[in-house]
Amino acid sequence: MTKHLSAPIAVGAGGGRWRRILAISALALAGAAVSPAQAASYTWNNVRIVAGGYVDGIIGHPGQSGLFYARTDIGGAYRYDNGTWVPLNDWTAPSNWHHMGIESIAIDPRNVNMLYMVAGMYTQNWDGNAVVLVSNNKGASFSSYPLSFRTGGNNDGRNAGERLQVDPNLGSVLMYGTFNDAAQGATNGIWKSTNSGQTWTRLNGFTALTNDGSGAGVAFVTYYKSSASNGSATPTVFAGVSTASAASAGVTLYKSTDGGSHWSAVSGGPTGQYPNHGQIGPDGNLYITYGNAIGPNGMTSGQVWKYSVGGNTWQNITPPNPNNYTFGYGGLSIDPQKSGALVVMTMDRWWPGDTMFRSTNGGTSWVDVGAASSRDASVSPWVKFGASTAAFGNWGQVVIDPLNSARAFYGTGQTVWTTNNLTAADSGQATSWTVGASGIEETATLALISPTSGAPLISGLGDICGFVHTSLTVSPPAGMHSNPICGNGTGLDYAKSLPSKIVRVGTGGSVFGAVSTNGGTSWTPFANQAGSAQGDGTVAISADGGTIVWAPKDVAPAYSTNNGASWTSTGLPVSTSWQILSDGLNGNLFYAYNAATGIFYASANKGVSWYTAASGLATGGKVTAVTGIQGDIWLAASSGLYHSTSSGSSWSLMYSGVVTAANSVGFGKAASGASYPAMYLAGTVSGVQGIFRSTDSGGTWVRINDNAHQWGGYSLVVGDPKTFGTVYIAPNSGRGIIYGTSPN
């Protein structure tokens, strides 16, 4: 929780002139004077959902009790502090949004302060190069060192690991294994640093990758600590190789005995299987989980093996599967306190659900931990997905507390679970689990509204539909939107003159939308889907609540006057780029902006007929209508901020030379004495990228976030119409929903 004071940025003489496009409007704001603005002090927090995305790696530090780190695929990394996970990457600038995808994370087992991350979201050539982030204070701050290639924090195969490891005997030495990317063959392989991650050298002696895009590349790296003593570089290192040819040949493990200069294949492992995780236990065995695909989806079979490092022998120790369920194996954790004790996690066991297996004798026998377990979801009731109890979870990545055998965490595609009685399974007793994800917020926000009455915030989210937040500090007791539960919640709107009436649309199932007449307390699903087989898209409801206009992904936009019981085509073309919105005051007016073409359409008869109000507008933007004012519409675009007061028939570029780029603009309760709503802008003002507020119709702008609160960028900003100063932000990265409050 941080407060930041920032100085106002005034729109100067040149910036106050508007460049005309199309036609000149009679702008309500034309007479806005440049006036001084009071600096704003803001406090930032997450709207509490509790997790929501894939926590694809968790590690514990053997040198300090209770010190854990978790990585996510799009929302940065976290450190566990006294029962709460603390975000570590919120300082990430918008220009480096892809660094919020943490591909691998590592600790120095001999130094509790050292933390390392490989940050980069995609290996595709349109993404930027990755970095290695190095912290000497447990993630309180980082130094960033560039890599010459891209990494895949959100690629398939991100569930493998850990690819990054610190030499347990000499903390200045690290190794990192890449993906098997086809476009980066010259940089694929294993890289080594001898100066704590500052510079890296590719190990030319490692040639096991095929550079054909198959598999996950180097799935894991692990040092054999016993091959050296403290203070000396560890010579023996193993690497799991995940490529199609390695899996086919059954040669998925490689070994070096000279610190990585030379590598040789270790034959004798399974065939047709891709390695996922590998760790060496105190018994001198290397344990490896496998699947017939790289995950996190697509596995239909899998195995668990152990390799005796000293004896050079393999043994298949796969847990029994008497019901012949189809699944693979992902997560793995060795208990350093108990020789031969470990847990493994299934992956893609969609029925009867994923589980954890535990062994205390090196895999000779196993206990199904999930089959005899209880799960308390009260911290985030939504994880029950409408059922009476929460499932064990899917895609689990797991860690046993290195200093407490009874304690464990595992991360799933939705949350983190924790227990303090894991060892109860050893005597046939049930284990008890609670949601252990407090502080982790990782959701992709697709739609947000803050109605003029009722709940302060209603959301549409990727993968978990969305929520009605009557409190910003509590995960909604009712869980996510239901009737229907959806996959992605893509569109939301409320009737401006009847704010208790809300409409939402999304994906998943066979029903794609619903209407609420009580502020989202309950929902009535669309009885008819407008001919759509995919749903998706955006939606708007007229100010009086009588008409809904919906633009699904796969059919032409349509309107309904009976809450979705039937639909009539608008005549607008099919497009995946529609943004549908209703007028902020007049119940007859609807608008449709095509972000791909820059054409703006309007309807004056509740969506029955449409006309081209303007063309040649900026493409790729976001449009917003101002509540309570007829015809008042704003367009945020990469070229600036545009305004229309004529229902879209004419537009002007506002604050030219000052507001030079805009991702989103939102409106909240007006400041005391002001007649126009407070404006919130995610964009660039006077060369500074951030979140800005204006209380005088854009005459002056104040940056309200700081460099410690950037979250990888901002895709959506919405003001609260009931509380002055409160603003909601959807980060680009998937760091949940952020809200800011200010006393002034």
What residues are labeled active site?
A: 73, 463
Given the DSSP bridges, would you call strands 328-334 and 342-347 parallel, antiparallel or unpaired? Answer: antiparallel
Match 């309570």 to its residue by tokens: 628
From the number of C-beta atoms within 10 Å of its C-beta (0-12, 13-18, 19+), residue 524 rates as: middle
State the amino acid at position 511 in one-letter form.
V
In the chain, the largest separation of any two C-alpha atoms, in whole Å, equals 85
The string of DSSP letters for 554-618 reads SS--EEESSTTSS-EE-SPPP-S-EEEEE-SS-TT-EEEEETTTTEEEEESSTTSS-EEEE-SPP
Strand stretches in 62-170, DSSP E: 68-72, 77-81, 84-87, 102-108, 111-119, 131-135, 143-146, 164-166
Alpha-carbon dihedral sign for residues 614, 616, 617, 620: positive
Q: How many CA atoms lie within 13 A of 338 on its CB side?
A: 19
DSSP class of residue 249 equals H
Residues β-bridged to residue 558? 550, 569
**What region does 255 belong to: left with phi over 0, alpha with psi -120 to 50, or beta?**
beta
From the number of C-beta atoms within 10 Å of its C-beta (0-12, 13-18, 19+), residue 77 rates as: buried
Q: How far is CA 170 from CA 111, 132, 196, 228, 310, in A?
A: 10, 18, 10, 10, 22
Query: N- to C-terminal Cα distance for the chain?
Result: 17
Torsion of CA 381, 383, 386, 389, to 10 degrees: -80
Contact assessment for residue 471 and residue 455, using Cβ atoms and an 8 Å cutoff: no
Contact assessment for residue 415 and residue 439, using Cβ atoms and an 8 Å cutoff: no
Match 């120095």 to its residue by tokens: 108
CB atoms within 10 A of CB 258: 12
User: Hey, is 60 helix, strand or coil?
Assistant: strand
Which pair of structure tokens corresponds to residue 489? 């919640």
CA distance 147 to 684: 28
User: Where are the alpha helices (H) located in 178-267, listed in sequence order?
Assistant: 244-249
User: Hey, is 69 helix, strand or coil?
Assistant: strand
